[in-house]
């Protein structure tokens, strides 16, 4: 009878366990030295080798000829434990035997010496499922066990186990297995089974398994109908859209093309792809792009590896970190809602619409989206007002009869002051340089023509402010230093910055209303 791959290829020695050297080395050393604890607790996520290590340890302590801490797998004790014929090694599932009566029966039986093995071993899987009364019944024998008794407890949720039990066990934490090691194990299994597994398919299976070797082997088992097994076969079995389609979907979202995004979702849905899985892939891509933006030096080690750097950078060019974070939150909310939704496809479509147009979001998200789009518009406006590079202004003409070094005072002042166009255009250029260097609230105040305006006079930038609050902001040491650096860089020479109060222009109020009207916030009649 056919046996599933994850059962056929379950590790039989500590050396065959993948990705847990910190556990296997310690257990081998204890078996070799004969310094075994009376109770072990194996903690870790699914498919990381907890039950496999428990069975290997049960064989190793009873093996007639152990080899460097590993069971020989050929003596009567090892063969009997593998076949289940030796009743001194008991494996119990606490999920279905969690009552106090089950544990009392186990406790009463445990005191008897083993019949066919050196030690009586109890492997209790999912031990966190035991009831409080069952834990209390187990506590006494764990505290003072007979010399022939060994308990091996395994759990995925250690926080549910009472502290009194934890303190009586040696704890070993099993890590998620790295994708590279899972892929290597899959290639070995495929080779032994006569399967053709491509490198890309092995890595994809390893990433989908999320650190679980058992899940990876189960997925490989589903793919054995094809030869060779490539990425397309894996995507079809897992119901995933694939890296290329996910990147296309993200590009449509980044460019706010809701129709294109919905059409692509519908096409993938018609091909049998799972909408929750598609949103999950999209979320993984967005996470990789966000890591590339906020932590470029560590991004390669933290990313999923499903997309190349060129694809990630292309997505990043069309969006901002704030919007990426909004997209992640929206996708997570939609995936949570799918468990309660009567129409999963509709939930995914609504999610895509919110991703393409943040103003469709609820509550604070919509407000933050409007602010983000307003800031983006302000940045584009400031950039468009940057002054072009031009030749320096010509020397002023010396009036007839005046010596070259004796310019009249009005002429000297006029020579020191740039033309009206230059004086008006340099301050918006300074604002454009400041946008990423000061806070949004400070930038909004400095960009308000009703509050402040700038002009170069001689070798100084004169900032004329209309109220004490704006003057306080402009004179702050950090703001003043950034303004001076930006102004000097744009002017090509060192400029002093002076702040003074002036009279509010008569048109300032109208300018402010026009600015609000331009962004569609309010309509004035």
Residue 174 has what pLDDT? 94
**5-174 CATH choice from 3.40.50.150, 3.40.50.300, 3.40.1010.10, 3.90.870.30:** 3.40.50.300
Give the 3-state secondary structure of residue 362. Answer: coil
Question: Residue 452 is inside which H or E element, if any?
Answer: strand 452-457
220 and 9 Cβ atoms separated by less than 8 Å: no
> How many other β-carbons are positioned within 10 Å of the β-carbon of residue 12?
17
Contacts of 497 (CB under 8 A, 6+ apart): 460, 461, 463, 480, 483, 484, 487
Predicted structure pTM score: 0.61
- Let me know if 324 is exposed, middle or buried by CB neighbors in 10 A (0-12, 13-18, 19+): buried
Q: How far is CA 505 from CA 449, 498, 508, in A?
A: 9, 19, 5
334 and 351 Cβ atoms separated by less than 8 Å: yes
Q: How many residues does the chain have?
A: 525
Residue 385 has what pLDDT? 54
What is the maximal distance between C-alpha atoms in the chain?
127
Structure tokens at 406: 């004796």
Instruction: Please report which residue ranges of 111-230 form alpha helices under DSSP H.
Output: 132-143, 163-166, 179-192, 199-209, 213-222
Q: Name which of 62, 118, 127, 50 is nearest 92 in CA terms.
A: 127
> Does domain 179-238 correspond to CATH entry 3.40.640.10?
no
Structure tokens at 87: 């009743």
Rounded Cα–Cα distance for residues 233 and 217 (Å): 15
Contacts of 493 (CB under 8 A, 6+ apart): 459
Residue 505 has what pLDDT? 46
Q: Which CATH class is domain 417-518?
A: alpha beta
Give the 3-state secondary structure of residue 509. Answer: helix
The pLDDT profile of the chain, 525 residues, written as one tens digit per residue, is 788 898 889 999 999 999 999 999 999 999 999 899 999 999 998 899 999 999 999 999 999 998 989 999 999 999 999 888 888 898 988 888 888 888 888 888 888 888 888 889 999 999 999 999 999 888 888 888 888 999 999 999 989 999 999 999 999 999 999 888 999 999 999 999 999 999 988 988 888 888 899 999 999 999 988 888 988 888 888 777 677 788 888 888 888 889 999 999 998 888 888 888 889 989 988 888 888 888 777 766 777 767 767 778 888 787 888 888 888 999 998 998 888 888 999 999 999 999 988 777 765 655 665 666 666 666 655 555 555 544 444 455 545 554 444 444 444 444 444 444 444 457 788 887 787 778 877 777 888 887 888 888 878 888 888 888 888 888 888 888 888 888 888 877 788 888 888 754 444 444 554 544 444 444 544
Structure tokens at 454: 């700038």
Residue 472 has what pLDDT? 82
Q: Which CATH architecture has domain 247-260+272-364?
A: Up-down Bundle (1.20)
Q: In degrees, to the nearest 5, what angle opens at C-alpha 363 toward C-alphas 357 and 364? A: 85
Distance of CA 423 to the CA centre of its chain: 47
47 and 213 Cβ atoms separated by less than 8 Å: yes
Q: In degrees, to the nearest 5, what angle opens at C-alpha 298 toward C-alphas 294 and 304? A: 90
- Domain ranges (residues) in the chain: 5-174, 179-238, 247-260+272-364, 417-518
23-41 burial, b for 16+ CB within 10 Å, e for fewer?
Answer: bbeebbebbeeeeeebbbb
């Amino acid at each position: 009878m056919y046996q599933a791959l994850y059962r056929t290829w379950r590790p039989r020695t500590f050396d065959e366990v993948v990705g847990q050297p910190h556990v296997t080395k310690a257990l081998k050393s204890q078996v070799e030295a004969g310094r075994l604890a009376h109770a072990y607790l194996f903690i870790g996520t699914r498919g990381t080798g907890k039950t496999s290590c428990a069975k290997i340890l049960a064989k190793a302590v009873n093996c007639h000829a152990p080899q460097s801490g590993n069971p020989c797998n050929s003596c009567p004790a090892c063969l009997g434990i593998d076949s289940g014929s030796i009743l001194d090694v008991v494996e119990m599932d606490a999920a279905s035997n969690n009552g106090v009566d089950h544990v009392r029966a186990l406790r009463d039986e445990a005191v008897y010496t083993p019949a066919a093995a050196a030690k009586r071993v109890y492997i209790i899987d999912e031990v966190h499922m035991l009831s409080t009364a069952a834990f209390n019944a187990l506590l006494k024998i764990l505290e003072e066990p007979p010399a022939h008794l060994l308990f091996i407890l395994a759990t995925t949720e250690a926080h549910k186990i009472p502290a009194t039990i934890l303190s009586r066990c040696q704890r070993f934490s099993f890590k998620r297995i790295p994708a590279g090691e899972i892929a290597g194990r899959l290639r070995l299994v495929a080779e032994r089974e006569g399967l053709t597994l491509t490198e890309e398919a092995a890595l994809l299976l390893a990433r989908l398994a999320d650190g679980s070797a058992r899940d990876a082997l189960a997925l490989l088992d589903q793919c054995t109908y094809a030869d060779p097994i490539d990425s397309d076969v894996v995507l079809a079995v897992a119901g995933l859209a694939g890296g290329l389609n996910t990147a296309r979907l993200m590009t449509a979202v980044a460019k706010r093309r809701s129709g294109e995004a919905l059409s692509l979702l519908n096409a993938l849905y018609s091909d049998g792809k799972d909408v929750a899985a598609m949103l999950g892939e999209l979320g993984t891509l967005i996470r990789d792009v966000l890591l590339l933006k906020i932590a470029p030096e560590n991004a390669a080690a933290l990313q999923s590896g499903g997309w190349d750097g060129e694809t990630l950078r292309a997505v990043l060019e069309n969006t901002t970190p704030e919007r990426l974070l909004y997209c992640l939150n929206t996708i997570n909310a939609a995936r949570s809602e799918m468990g309660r939704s009567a129409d999963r496809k509709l939930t995914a479509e609504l999610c895509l619409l919110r991703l393409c147009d943040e103003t469709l979001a609820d509550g604070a998200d919509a407000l933050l989206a409007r602010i983000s789009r307003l800031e983006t518009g302000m940045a584009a406006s400031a950039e468009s007002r940057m002054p072009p590079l031009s030749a320096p202004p010509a020397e002023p003409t010396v009036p007839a009869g005046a010596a070259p070094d004796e310019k009249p005072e009005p002429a000297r002042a006029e020579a020191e002051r740039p033309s009206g166009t230059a004086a008006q255009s340099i301050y918006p250029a300074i604002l454009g340089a400041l946008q990423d260097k000061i806070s949004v609230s400070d930038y909004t105040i400095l960009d308000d023509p009703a509050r402040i305006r700038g002009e170069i006079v001689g070798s100084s930038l004169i900032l004329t402010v209309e109220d004490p609050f704006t003057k306080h902001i402009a004179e702050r040491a950090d703001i003043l230093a950034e303004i001076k650096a930006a102004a000097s860089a744009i002017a090509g020479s060192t400029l002093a910055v002076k702040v003074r109060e002036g009279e509010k222009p008569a048109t300032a109020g109208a300018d402010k209303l026009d600015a609000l009207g331009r962004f569609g916030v309010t309509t004035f009649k």
